[in-house]
Amino acid sequence: MKNFAYREADSKDAILAALAELKDAYVIAGGTNVMLNILDKKVNDRTLVNLRNAKELRGIKDNGETITIGATTTISDLEHSELIAGEAKALWQAAVSFADPTTRHSATVGGNISNASPAADTATALMVLDAVVTIEKKGAKREVALTDFFKGVGKTVLAADEIVTAITFKKSHNCAFIKLGLRNAMAISVANVAVNLVKQGDVVKDIKIAMGSVAPTVRRCAEVEKALLGKKLEDAVIAEAVKGLDKDISPIDDIRATGKYRKQVAPVLVTRAIYAACGCKDGGAK
Amino acid sequence: MAKKEITLNVNGKAYQVSVEPNEILLNVLRDKLFLTGSKYGCGIAECGACSILVDGKVQLSCMIPAIAAEGWNITTVEGLADKDGNLNPVQQAFIDRAAIQCGFCTPGMVVTGTSLLNQNPHPTEEEVKDYFRGNYCRCTGYTSIVEATLMAAEKMSK
């Protein structure tokens, strides 16, 4: 029998106070993961602390070179934001490939990363945009780079009395996100990739590549990045560079795909995403 | 578990109900408010049969604890018609286009269609198909549903 107490917390202070006071707090915002976790009997006998009405945690702010999104900003907010579509295209592409419009009206970015599924689509995009997560508890605040935020499947650096309150990341005009699922909609990623690229003339000045669903956490593909720095983006160069994925990813067999399939498809996706990010072949990020 | 007296604003009416934290909005709408239009299709956010509008935007009532919905502006399929009982354009288009067979998915479909046209009054066929991706129908094959929604958009733009 599902047994819960309930606490409404319509401001950040109220949320942090509740988390400090309650030993059994379990935060809920959009509910699209929480309710499923409860139905799966993964969570019971807790106090649900409802963040959904804390308006101060929802919103997208343009800081000039960076953007800050509040933790309870919905995926639909991202989808309908001209700022995100124009200056963080990879995140926008992740948002429009996320579940369906209905789910997106409820699901939040904070929830997506705090749930820490290796398939969290927004996490892959945010990771190549140098995202930094603001984490708060009563009386304290800290910032953690998204690359350090995930510890394992479903695990983050969050303590029991902490929540994500915001995520800040850099704008980009050359980034892209691609999701591969078992179907074109309502699919959990079999593999996803995001690329953020800075070119100097013909040559790669800086490149960030992240993949999801191919390791216990969303992660950067450091070997592939290294192999592309300073190089021209040509078929042969990229084909050689993506061999580094063998070291960067460690996909397993699960109900959606085998590790072997993921290893085969990862280089294809990374290649497509690189071209999409630079806009230099069809499928370019416009 | 502690029961709480809450007020749910549904279809313009304020309902007082007593709910426990583990009750989902879908079941409270159906079993306590007797608004049985929203259907329990899967209970796990896959089928869209439980779709309702919150401030005009479609959400899944099976994924919302009723206790969290206090004070929200909720519209169920029963609230789509006007106070004289005239069906809204999406509902009427579903009838005109015969986009209904067993009817189980229909409440979710018309609610979702209404949400779409609230946000995007002139959707393309692709946009309609994309918006409905979370609503499942086992009978119609979806063609008539997409056509009905486009017909409603056209009627509304006149």
Model ipTM value: 0.94
Give yes or no: residues B65 and B103 share one domain: no
As a whole number of angstroms, the distance between CA A70 and CA B13 comes to 32
Q: Label residue A284 by pLDDT band (50, 70, 90).
A: very low
Q: Is A2 on the interface with B (CB under 8 A)?
A: yes
pLDDT value at A267 more than 60: yes
Average pLDDT of the residues of chain A: 95
> Phi first, then psi: what are they for A24, rounded to 5°?
-120, 30
Question: Which H or E element spans position A265?
Answer: helix A259-278
Q: What is the CATH number of the domain that holds A268?
A: 3.30.390.50
Q: Is residue A283 part of a domain?
A: no
Last residue of a domain, one of B79, B110, B136: B79
Q: Label residue A282 by pLDDT band (50, 70, 90).
A: very low
Q: Label residue A281 by pLDDT band (50, 70, 90).
A: low
Chain B residues with CB inside 8 Å of A105's CB?
A: 54, 57-59
Give yes or no: residues B53 and B24 share one domain: yes
| CB spacing of A5 vs B63 below 8 angstroms | no
Q: Quote the tokens at residue B4.
A: 């709480």
Q: Is residue A200 part of a domain?
A: yes
Give yes or no: residues B50 and B70 share one domain: yes
Residues in B 117-136 with any Cβ partner in A closer than 8 A: 130-131, 133-135
Average pLDDT of the residues of chain B: 97
Q: Is residue A247 part of a domain?
A: yes
Number of domains in chain A: 3
Q: Is residue A198 part of a domain?
A: yes
Give yes or no: residues A161 and A193 share one domain: no
Nearest CA in chain A to B46: A186
Q: Quote the tokens at residue A119.
A: 């398939």
Q: Show Cβ contacts of residue A191 under 8 Å, excluding neighbours closer than 6 positions.
A: A180, A211, A212, A213, A214, A251, A257, A262, A265, A266, A269
For the stretch B17-41, pLDDT in tens is 999 999 999 999 999 999 999 999 9
Give yes or no: residues A147 and A104 share one domain: yes
Last residue of a domain, one of B21, B46, B79: B79
pLDDT value at A170 more than 70: yes
For the stretch A47-102, pLDDT in tens is 999 999 999 999 999 999 999 999 999 999 999 999 999 999 999 999 999 999 99
Chain B residues with CB inside 8 Å of A52's CB?
A: 68
Q: Is B64 on the interface with A (CB under 8 A)?
A: yes
Q: Is residue B84 part of a domain?
A: no
Give yes or no: residues A94 and A60 share one domain: yes
> What pLDDT is recorded for position A222?
97
Give yes or no: residues A88 and A152 share one domain: yes
Of A140, A160, A173, the residue nearest A67 (C-alpha): A173
Q: Is residue A286 part of a domain?
A: no
> What pLDDT is recorded for position A1?
67
Give yes or no: residues A141 and A182 share one domain: no
Give yes or no: residues B131 and B96 share one domain: yes
Q: Is residue B22 part of a domain?
A: yes
> Phi first, then psi: what are they for B96, rounded to 5°?
-60, -35
* Strand, helix or coil for residue A260: helix
Give yes or no: residues B62 and B100 share one domain: no
As a whole number of angstroms, the distance between CA A195 and CA A278 comes to 9
Number of domains in chain B: 2
| pLDDT (mean) for A110-115 | 98
Give yes or no: residues B65 and B17 share one domain: yes
Chain A residues with CB inside 8 Å of B57's CB?
A: 76, 105
Give yes or no: residues B61 and B14 share one domain: yes
Q: Quote the tokens at residue A106.
A: 């409820």
pLDDT value at A36 more than 70: yes
Q: What is the CATH number of the domain that holds B152?
A: 1.10.150.120
pLDDT value at A285 more than 80: no
Q: Show Cβ contacts of residue B108 under 8 Å, excluding neighbours closer than 6 positions.
A: B38, B39, B41, B47, B48, B49, B50, B51, B77, B135
Give yes or no: residues B111 and B145 share one domain: yes
β pairing state of B4-10 and B73-75: parallel
> What pLDDT is recorded for position B92?
98
As a whole number of angstroms, the distance between CA A62 and CA B130 comes to 29
Last residue of a domain, one of A170, A189, A219: A170
Sequential pLDDT tens for chain B (158 residues): 889 999 999 999 999 999 999 999 999 999 999 999 999 999 999 999 999 999 999 999 999 999 999 999 999 999 999 999 999 999 999 999 999 999 999 999 999 999 999 999 999 999 999 999 999 999 999 999 999 999 999 999 98
Domain membership of residue A46 as a residue range? 4-50
| CB spacing of A4 vs B22 below 8 angstroms | yes
| CB spacing of A76 vs B131 below 8 angstroms | no
Cα of A67 to nearest chain B Cα, Å: 25
For the stretch A115-169, pLDDT in tens is 999 999 999 999 999 999 999 999 999 999 999 999 999 999 999 999 999 999 9
Give yes or no: residues B74 and B99 share one domain: no
Give yes or no: residues A45 and A63 share one domain: no
Last residue of a domain, one of B14, B44, B79: B79
> What pLDDT is recorded for position B1?
82
> What pLDDT is recorded for position A280?
67
> Phi first, then psi: what are they for B85, rounded to 5°?
90, 5
Domain membership of residue B12 as a residue range? 4-79
> What pLDDT is recorded for position A283?
44
Give yes or no: residues A183 and A228 share one domain: yes
β pairing state of A46-50 and A4-8: parallel
Q: Label residue A185 by pLDDT band (50, 70, 90).
A: confident
Nearest to A102 among B2, B4, B51 (CB): B51
Give yes or no: residues B49 and B110 share one domain: no
> What pLDDT is recorded for position A202?
85
Q: What is the CATH number of the domain that holds B40?
A: 3.10.20.30
β pairing state of A132-137 and B57-60: unpaired
Nearest to B2 among A5, A30, A76 (CB): A5
